[in-house]
Structure 1
Amino acid sequence: MRRRARLATALGVIGAGALAVSSCTASDVLTPRVDVGTQTSSVGPQPRGLARLASPSAMMSVGYPRLQRPFAEPGAQMPASETDCRRQLRRLGVTFRDLAPINDGGACRIDWPVQVSGLPGSIEMKPAATLSCDMALAFATWTRKELTPSARWRYLSGVKTIHQGSSYSCRNIRRSGGVASEHSKGNALDVMRIELRNGRDIDVRKPGWFAFRERGLLNNVRAGGCQYFTTVLGPGYDADHADHFHFDIKNRRNGYVACR
């Protein structure tokens, strides 16, 4: 009787263990029960040139849920990244001043805006452009390394004035279904014409067939812009950009650069 009781007990233990194993599948072991949230951020771009340094704070959120940034309150301490950006502007010889935070609702905001009135080489910006510091730095570097050398090569002249048509502007991209323009973040600038020191005034609109030097200059600065910005659009792209160059540092996934 004792042997039968021990055997029954042993069989009961084995049966219970088998039942436990059968109810615990591989998916139960490997799949976490905790809800870690849905990833909402996109992979930040890996653009070439200076644009790789633009918006470093955006790069910090790669792979994690994007949190709403608190708006910079008046009197708040400037982040180190913004301080460093301004240091680089001064090193380049950019004339600028800090503006109060801009918040026009929705995506229309710049926490630490600057107003740029002069660029490297004593080039005037008319009218003064309201931009994020990252965009100001990208544009100033492009001006120094691409536009100025191209003007000297093609026309044996320096650049006197860059005439811009739009910097910060609270608006959506036309025909986009409500997508905010990079202008609404201070991350875009439209260039209408370029005035040289020799008196030549270069309209950005598509030049005629026999305007070889003008065509060469515009082609050079347009292609060179792709090293500093994530978007370069101009005449020939569409009707909305027929009379100006559009430059911006839009944050795109997978390093995509729109250079057209």
Structure 2
Amino acid sequence: MSFALSSAVPLRRLTTVFILCTATALSACGMGDVRRPQANVGHSSSPAESGDYIAVAPAADMTPVTPPAPDNSLADNSLAGEENRIANNEADQPVAQAQNLAAAQPVMTEENHALASREQNYGYAGGGLRDPMARSESRYTMPAGEIACRTQLKQLGVVFQERAPINDGGVCRIDNPLTVSGFASGQIRLKPSATLNCQMTLAFARWVKGDLQPSTRLRYLSGVNTIHQASSYSCRTMSNRPGANMSEHSKGNALDIAKITLNNGTDIKVQKPGFFAFRQRGLLNNVRSDACDYFTTVLGPGYDIFHRDHFHFDLMQRRNGHRACR
């Protein structure tokens, strides 16, 4: 009995030593305290601190982490800024295209401008007039004397219109012609309308106001209604005679008057009056003699056969300043 007990004690010790050696060997081989990898799910403590093993959940069961919602105001501002940038780019595109187009246009030389002017007009009736700023009757290119003359015409109530320059060759030209249709603000008509230069128009308007109107009121107790002209601008010689000098009509510097109609309906023809036509003779003699205060040349009935039926008025310039009143 005692032997058995004494034998059991060394056996237990051998068993204990064997177990300890086995545990030591296993520990040296890395087999001790094997633990599974752990997934971090937001716990505050680690598995080492809790002392528990944690099982990893399958991927299908994991709850996705939701990111924080973006600031809508910032998104709106960014979107608005992007829209403005796109709009600015779109607005800049036509400007860039226009600049590219302008750069591609050929330089307008004098030859190109002349070609373009032949291919188009500026919308005037008939297409005969080109750029209005290039016309010599434009107030911006008109001599100062012509502008001053037109101012005086307006003060006298002359009814007129500007015309394109006339150049029929030689002396047959008017650089700044007018079409005259009336006097005294239209109360006195000129039929048909006359084409004259401004200085001749001014001299005739002064004669109508200062001589013709007072004379008709004195002798006929009536004012002038219509003045009938027989010739204004005309590219011809004096009295249409072959080989003669060019007439002042070819410069728009002369006007022929054939008849005068008064407000009371009386027609006063410019011709040699009958023996008993006292008022007509007196009127024609007065306006004929006084007209030399306004014109340098006054010719009428009785001078020659070419002036038997009209008055001829002009502003011919002579070397010695002579006036021909016949």
From 144, 148, 152, the equivalent of 2:213 is: 148
- Structure 1 vs Structure 2: percent identity of aligned residues? 64
Q: Distance in 2 between matches of 1:150 and 1:256?
A: 26
Task: Work out which of the residue numbers 248, 260, 265 in structure 2 matches 1:199.
Answer: 265
Which residue of structure 1 aligns with residue 246 of structure 2? 180
Q: What is the correspondence of 1:17-36 to structure 2 with a 5 Å cutoff?
A: none
User: 1:151 aligns to what SS in structure 2?
Assistant: helix
Instruction: Work out the CA distance in 2 between the residues paired with 1:160 and 1:215.
Output: 20
SS in 1 for 2:249: helix
In 1, the alpha carbon distance for the partners of 2:199 and 2:304 equals 27
Q: Could you tell me which residue of structure 1 aligns to residue 180 of structure 2?
A: 116
Aligned to 1:87: 151
Distance in 1, Cα, partners of 2:211 & 2:228:
17
Query: Quick one: which of 167, 181, 190 aligns to 1:125?
Result: 190
**TM-score, L = length of structure 2:** 0.56
Local SS of the residue matching 2:152 = helix
Deviates most, 163-172 or 117-126: 117-126
Of residues 134, 138, 162, the one that matches 1:98 is 162
In structure 2, how many angstroms separate the alpha carbons of the residues matched to 1:178 and 1:106?
15
For the residues of structure 2 that align with 1:211 and 1:120, how far apart are their CA atoms? 28
Instruction: Report 1:155-234 matches (<5 A).
Output: 155-174=220-239, 175=241, 177-234=243-300
Measure the CA separation in 1 of the matches of 2:184 and 2:323. Answer: 25
Shift of 1:224: 1.0
The residue identity in structure 1 corresponding to 2:203 is: A
Tell me which of the two structures has the higher relative contact order, counting C-alpha pairs closer than 8 angstroms and 6 or more residues apart.
1
1:173 and 1:158 map into 2 onto residues whose CA distance is 33
Q: Structure 1 regions of 5+ residues with no counterpart?
A: 1-72
2:306 to 240, 253, 258: 240
Please give the secondary structure, in 2, of the residue aligned with 1:144: helix
TM-score using structure 1 length = 0.70
Equivalenced residues, count: 188
Pair 235,195 (structure 1): closer, same or farther in 2 beyond 3 Å: same
Residue number among 135, 142, 146 corresponding to 1:74 in the alignment: 135
More helix by percentage: 2
Cα distance in 2 between the residues matched to 1:243 and 1:193 = 9
Higher strand share: 1
Structure 2: 5+ residue runs without aligned partners?
1-133
Deviation at 1:120, TM superposition (A): 2.2
Paired amino acid for 1:126:
K
SS at match of 1:254: coil
Report the AA paired with residue 285 of structure 2. Answer: N
Question: Displacement, 1:178?
Answer: 3.7
Matched residue, 1:251: 317
Shift of 1:253: 1.1
Match of 1:57 in 2: none
1:65-119 CA-to-partner distances (Å, cap 9, x unmatched) read xxxxxxxx62560000000000000000000001000000011000000010001
The worse-fitting range, judged by mean Cα deviation, of 108-117 and 172-181 is 172-181
Between 225-234 and 174-183, the greater mean CA deviation after superposition: 174-183
CA distance in 2, matches of 1:241, 1:124: 23
Deviations 1:39-61 (A, max 9, x none): xxxxxxxxxxxxxxxxxxxxxxx
Other structure's SS at 2:190 match: strand
Distance 1:138 1:176 in 2: 29
Aligned to 1:32: none
Shift of 1:176: 6.9
